[in-house]
């Protein structure tokens, strides 16, 4: 059974997202629950925005992935208040540390997730004082609904969150199965 887990874990790590989605759909419920438990035991794993896939009548790998929007301050807005680019320099250093940490992350001697490959502004989320991704200020209750995708936080003060949207479609089924257990 461990060999099957290792093989499926490898396929989830290194397959394109549309193939990984099929693996999650076809894998046994027992495996998905074990995978979910391993993810939850990782110190750097935390909930992120919800994702929903729609085929829109098209056959795979085509379709649409809809992500929950998180209201937050942009890097441009942060730099505008700083008066220079000191915020960008600080964030660049912190993002680099998160990526270095991702490269070292292993579960049972296997890299569970691929190295983050899309370091653009929309994948960097500021955290609030309670270490949650900032939510819509007009609806604070919305901050607890953020879940079901892969996210790594800043190792120093947990005020920076790096999100991997490429795997967001994989996890809703996994976490729903875990909640039922």
The sheet that has 150-153: what strands, in order across it? 124-126, 160-164, 150-153
pLDDT for 57: 74
pLDDT-wise least confident of 42-56, 87-101, 138-152: 138-152
Q: How many Å apart are CA 90 and CA 147, to the nearest integer?
A: 27
Mean pLDDT of the chain: 58
Beta bridge partners of 54: 64
pLDDT digit string, tens, across residues 42-93: 544 444 556 666 666 777 666 666 666 556 666 666 666 666 666 667 766 7
Specify whether the CB–CB gap between 56 and 63 falls below 8 A.
yes
Give residue limits of the domains in the chain: 2-180
Residue 102 has pLDDT above 50, yes or no: yes
pLDDT at 112: 46
């Amino acid at each position: 059974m461990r060999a099957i887990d290792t093989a499926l874990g490898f396929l989830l790590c290194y397959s394109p997202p549309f193939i990984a989605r099929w693996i999650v759909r076809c894998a046994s419920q027992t495996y998905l629950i074990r995978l979910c438990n391993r993810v939850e035991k990782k110190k750097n794993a935390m909930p992120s925005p919800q994702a929903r896939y729609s085929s829109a009548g098209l056959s795979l790998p085509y379709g649409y992935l809809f992500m929950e929007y998180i209201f937050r301050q942009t890097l441009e807005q942060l730099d505008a208040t700083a008066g220079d680019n000191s915020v960008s320099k600080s964030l660049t250093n912190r993002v680099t540390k998160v990526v270095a940490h991702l490269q070292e992350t292993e579960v049972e001697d296997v890299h569970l997730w691929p190295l983050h490959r899309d370091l653009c502004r929309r994948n960097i989320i500021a955290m609030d004082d309670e270490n949650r991704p900032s939510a819509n200020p007009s609806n604070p209750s919305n901050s607890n609904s953020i879940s079901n995708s892969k996210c790594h936080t800043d190792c120093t003060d947990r005020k920076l969150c790096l999100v991997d949207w490429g795997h967001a479609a994989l996890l809703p089924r996994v976490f729903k199965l875990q909640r039922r257990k």
